């Protein structure tokens, strides 16, 4: 919501300037001691329906009339209600991918496949990775895809929102700079190193005209010299103060479930026993890469 307090962001926060948005919640851990719960939940229920829907709403919401609980939650609800169905009219699942981690290496340690974890059914079809392509029917976001992914046993623990802007309409430096111009990128680091990064083009320090992408980084810890409170610390304090702004309202929760339930039913009805696998320590299955490749895009390298 930082854009509502900074005039430089809001004017470009729309389909005219933004090409697409990627929201990533990656974990290096496996199912750990939560197999009894996770077997009945999976990544879609465990992470997407609540945490990632909240991040999507915060990025895409319209400005509230005031920074008050009901105003903010009304605008967040508008985002989820405007989402197009994930299951297409022909019944295809082109907008979502699921997978399950296999054996591999994470952070220098060998780890077992999900089906070999304690308490997990050896024939389990529970997904540990989900990628979604969400389109919003709104004047601000029409035609701008929001790509969401979450998974366990990925190479890095991070939660971030990456807003990729459109390229300049004309590459006027083509004749003097062989380097392709990278799209401007705004990265909101949610955890573990909270902050904001901006990627833009700069001239290399030489007599020849050549451009290269550079990063400008802001981190809360180094900028203010104090640790950022944990997310649950903030929520617990808000609960004691009676401030519901950051809490999901019942209609938001119901709308989130309405969006993902057809996907769950599709998986259940398919009776598919062999869920696509990805090697632990990799960034998910090839199907997730293919989903973006069909749009001429690719996942950001973290």
- The single-letter DSSP state of residue 260 is H
Distance CA(263)–CA(219), nearest Å, equals 37
Contacts 24+ apart (CB under 8 A), 286-295: 287/97, 287/99, 287/131, 288/97, 288/99, 288/129, 288/131, 288/149, 291/94, 291/95, 291/97, 291/131, 291/133, 291/147, 292/133, 292/147, 294/94, 295/20, 295/133, 295/145
Catalytic residue among 20, 51, 171, 250: 51
Distance CA(155)–CA(148), nearest Å, equals 17
Distance CA(94)–CA(132), nearest Å, equals 9
Contact, 183 vs 167, CB < 8 A? yes
Active site residue 250: no
Report the Cα–Cα distance between both ends of the chain, in Å, rounded: 23
User: 10 Å Cβ neighbour count for 291?
Assistant: 23
Task: List the beta bridge partners of residue 165.
Answer: 18
Region for residue 4 given its phi and psi (left: phi exceeds 0; alpha: psi -120 to 50; beta: otherwise): alpha
User: 10 Å Cβ neighbour count for 12?
Assistant: 15
Which of the residues are catalytic?
51
């Amino acid at each position: 919501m930082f854009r509502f307090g900074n005039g430089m962001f809001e004017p470009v926060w729309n389909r005219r300037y933004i090409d697409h948005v990627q929201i990533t919640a990656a974990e290096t851990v496996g199912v750990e001691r939560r197999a009894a719960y996770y077997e009945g939940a999976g990544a879609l229920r465990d992470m997407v329906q609540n945490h990632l829907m909240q991040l999507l709403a915060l990025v895409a919401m319209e400005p509230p009339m005031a920074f008050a609980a009901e105003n903010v939650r009304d605008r967040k609800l508008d985002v989820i209600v405007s989402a197009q169905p994930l299951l297409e009219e022909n019944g295809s699942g082109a907008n979502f991918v699921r997978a399950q981690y296999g054996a591999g290496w994470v952070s220098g340690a060998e780890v077992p496949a999900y089906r070999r974890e304690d308490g997990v059914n050896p024939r389990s079809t529970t997904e540990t990775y989900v990628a979604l392509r969400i389109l919003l029917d709104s004047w601000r976001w029409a035609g701008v895809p929001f790509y969401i992914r979450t998974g366990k046993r990925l190479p890095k623990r991070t939660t971030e929102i990456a807003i990729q802007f459109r390229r300049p309409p004309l590459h006027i430096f083509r004749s003097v700079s062989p380097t392709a111009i990278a799209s401007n990128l705004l990265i909101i680091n949610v955890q573990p190193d909270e902050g904001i990064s901006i990627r833009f083009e700069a001239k290399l320090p030489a007599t020849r005209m050549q451009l290269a992408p550079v990063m400008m980084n802001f981190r809360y810890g180094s900028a203010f010299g104090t640790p950022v409170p944990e997310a649950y610390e903030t929520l617990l304090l808000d609960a004691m103060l009676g401030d519901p702004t950051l809490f999901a309202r019942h209609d938001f929760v119901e709308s989130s479930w309405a969006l993902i339930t057809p996907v769950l039913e599709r998986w259940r009805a398919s009776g598919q026993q062999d869920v696509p696998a990805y090697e632990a320590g990799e960034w998910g299955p090839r199907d997730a890469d293919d989903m973006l490749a069909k749009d001429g895009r690719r996942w950001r390298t973290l």
